[in-house]
Amino acid sequence: MNNTTESVSPPAKGLFSEWSEMIKLEHTVFALPFALSGLLLASAAWPSAATVFWTIAAFAGARAASMTLNRLIDAKIDARNPRTKDRSIPAGRISVKQATLFTIGSFAIMAAAATQLPVLCVQLLPIAIIWLSFYSFTKRFTWFCHIVLGIAIGGAALGGWVAAGGLLSDPAPWVLMLAVATWVGSFDIIYACQDVDIDRSEKLHSIPARFGVANALNISSALHVVTVLSLIGVGLLCHLGAFYWVGFAIVVGMLIYEHSIVKPNDLSRVNAAFFTINGVVSILMFFAILLDKLF
């Protein structure tokens, strides 16, 4: 495989794995469960199969487009970062043209799915596309970039709520979005601690680069406190029962554990904190809400 010529197409073998790695398909567990949670919480009865399908399709298109666009925007920086230099675009296994067409196609899927959902989804579509396209640039001028990313993913929960016909005049979807936004922003800060040196050398903005790793981890902890308070708010506003609160208690314990395994002088377990724990958190909250609605 030629890793230097960007125009080379990935071979048929491993094609799916190449693209799924680029858009980090496994990271879908961070947002999809909350999109479906918003759908469940806003539904008076069970959402129809069609509503669930189009919600997932809209989410999949949005996530694939935003992640690919992020890879395109950061390709030159990724090429200079030892941790990311072997990613598909800087390594030349996926070309800029291929990634651009994929991004456009993914946004088209998102738009087509939105037309099958309540009209508010279509009305909010331009805002969603602009925000998903904009957040990748924020690290170039503000250390607030982690929260911008959190809001982008928190929008999935808001989108699920709207897809069920829920009204944005209610406080519950905004509190749910705040929970997701601060949760994502918090673990993104932890993840960014790995790149503090390259961020500083590239003059990129991040909380670890601006305030140092120790202070960044403290800020991350504070954001998770907001997450916990917001999840309490969701439970109270939506009148959720025992299953939700049991799931909530386990999530609080997992967030505490997440911060216990990452230290300023030991970032060796960042990946465990970033992916494993947070993947379980989102899935657990979804099933807690699902069981609460079932029983």
The CATH number given to whatever domain includes residue 89 is 1.10.357.140
Residue 4 has pLDDT above 50, yes or no: no
Q: Residue range 70-92: average pLDDT? A: 89
Which pLDDT score is estimated for 38? 95
117 belongs to a structural domain? yes
Residue 278 has pLDDT above 60, yes or no: yes
127 belongs to a structural domain? yes
Q: What are the two backbone dihedrals, phi and then psi, of residue 266, each rounded to the nearest 5 degrees?
A: -150, 95
Q: Do residues 95 and 8 lie in contact, with contact meaning Cβ atoms separated by under 8 Å?
A: yes
Closest C-alpha among 175, 183, 134 to residue 158: 175
2 belongs to a structural domain? no
Q: Do residues 281 and 30 lie in contact, with contact meaning Cβ atoms separated by under 8 Å?
A: no
Residues facing residue 266 across a β-bridge? 263
Which pLDDT score is estimated for 274? 73
Structural domain count, the chain: 1
Residue 53 has pLDDT above 60, yes or no: yes
Q: Mean pLDDT across the chain, nearest whole number?
A: 90
Q: Do residues 241 and 292 lie in contact, with contact meaning Cβ atoms separated by under 8 Å?
A: yes
Which pLDDT score is estimated for 7? 41
CA 149, chain centre distance (Å) = 7
Which pLDDT score is estimated for 6? 41
Closest C-alpha among 279, 41, 61, 24 to residue 157: 41
Closest C-alpha among 238, 279, 32 to residue 155: 32
Q: Do residues 107 and 64 lie in contact, with contact meaning Cβ atoms separated by under 8 Å?
A: no
Alpha-helical runs (H) found in the chain:
15-22, 32-42, 49-73, 75-80, 96-114, 119-134, 145-163, 171-192, 196-201, 207-211, 213-237, 242-260, 270-271, 278-294
Which pLDDT score is estimated for 10? 43
Q: Residue range 67-87: average pLDDT? A: 90
262 belongs to a structural domain? yes
Residue 8 has pLDDT above 60, yes or no: no
Confidence of residue 13 (pLDDT cuts 50, 70, 90): very low
Confidence of residue 233 (pLDDT cuts 50, 70, 90): very high
4 belongs to a structural domain? no
Residue 167 has pLDDT above 90, yes or no: no
Lowest mean pLDDT among 81-90, 105-114, 120-129: 81-90
Confidence of residue 183 (pLDDT cuts 50, 70, 90): very high
Residue 275 has pLDDT above 70, yes or no: yes
User: Which residues, including other chains, have CB under 8 Å from residue 216's CB and lie 6 or more apart?
Assistant: 189, 190, 192, 193, 206, 207, 208
Distance CA 109, CA 64 (A): 10
Which pLDDT score is estimated for 12? 43
Q: What are the two backbone dihedrals, phi and then psi, of residue 273, each rounded to the nearest 5 degrees?
A: -65, -40
Confidence of residue 87 (pLDDT cuts 50, 70, 90): confident
110 belongs to a structural domain? yes
Domain that holds residue 19: 15-294
Closest C-alpha among 30, 271, 31, 245 to residue 128: 31
142 belongs to a structural domain? yes
Q: What are the two backbone dihedrals, phi and then psi, of residue 263, each rounded to the nearest 5 degrees?
A: -120, 155
Which pLDDT score is estimated for 120? 95
